[in-house]
Amino acid sequence: MSPWMTNGECSYACGMHLWQDVVYTELVDPKTLEPVEYGEEGVPVYTHLERTSQPFIRFFSYDISTWINDSCECGRTYPRLPKGIYGRIDDVINIRGEKVFPSAIQEALMSVKGYGGEHQIIITRERALDKIILKVEYDKDVEKQASINSLVLKDLEEAFKNAIRVKCGVNAEVILVPPKTLNRTQLKAKRIIDNRELYEELNKLRSHH
């Protein structure tokens, strides 16, 4: 039995219940490893209370979540993860002090009608400020509409920008591309291009001249 089998959502769909009497779960600060308060964000750490063959003792999951201890209409009194698992600490992108998860970007794009199913995240630096550029495919329906009305693409671009702003709390430049422009990949790493080191290298070269 693995710890993830003991986190489950009830019929009220208000987050994953943590079955503490089977697997004791804590959320900890990823830097200090100290437990965080309810309502705060942290990394789930699991200790299996029944497994004897391969015991889990404070298993550090590298996931990111938020937990609460409010009552649930189903009657269960376990703590909950109201947003489930929504990121990994090794995936997080820091943009001007904001933590942005690639999974959150994908959710925001998928919420917009006209998303073509593929995108690319480019992180760059402009005048010492971090910047996100998103290459986003639109679908075939948008392609047909755009051939009749060019404003369709402008409206879609604004819709994507707004979705990212609301979901992730950052502004992003959006570049729309036709269907099947981007390579298909299941790997998150392939979707992310970080050019910030190139910016720093160019600045160093400039300073030597």
Q: What is the pLDDT of residues 8-17, one digit of tens each?
A: 889 999 999 9
Q: Let me know whether 81 and 97 are in one domain.
A: no
139 CB contacts (<8 Å, ≥6 apart)?
A: 114, 115, 116, 117, 179
31 CB contacts (<8 Å, ≥6 apart)?
A: none
Pairing state between β 16-18 and 80-81: antiparallel
What is the token pair recorded at 194?
């970080």
Q: Let me know whether 97 and 182 are in one domain.
A: yes
Pick the closest to residue 134 from 114, 113, 105 (CA basis): 105
Split at pLDDT 50, 70, 90, the class of 198 is low
Q: Let me know whether 76 and 109 are in one domain.
A: no
Split at pLDDT 50, 70, 90, the class of 92 is confident
Pick the closest to residue 47 from 29, 30, 59 (CA basis): 59
Q: Let me know whether 78 and 101 are in one domain.
A: no
Split at pLDDT 50, 70, 90, the class of 45 is very high
Residue type for position 96? R
Q: Let me know whether 47 and 97 are in one domain.
A: no
Residues spanned by the domain of 82: 3-88
Q: Could you say which of 72, 88, 104 is where a domain stops?
A: 88
The structural domain count of the chain equals: 2
Q: Let me know whether 150 and 166 are in one domain.
A: yes
The mean pLDDT of 174-194, rounded to a whole number, is 78
Q: What is the pLDDT of residues 102-146, one digit of tens each?
A: 888 988 999 999 999 999 998 888 777 888 999 999 999 999 999
CATH assignment at residue 78: 2.30.38
Residue 160 in contact with residue 174, Cβ under 8 Å? yes
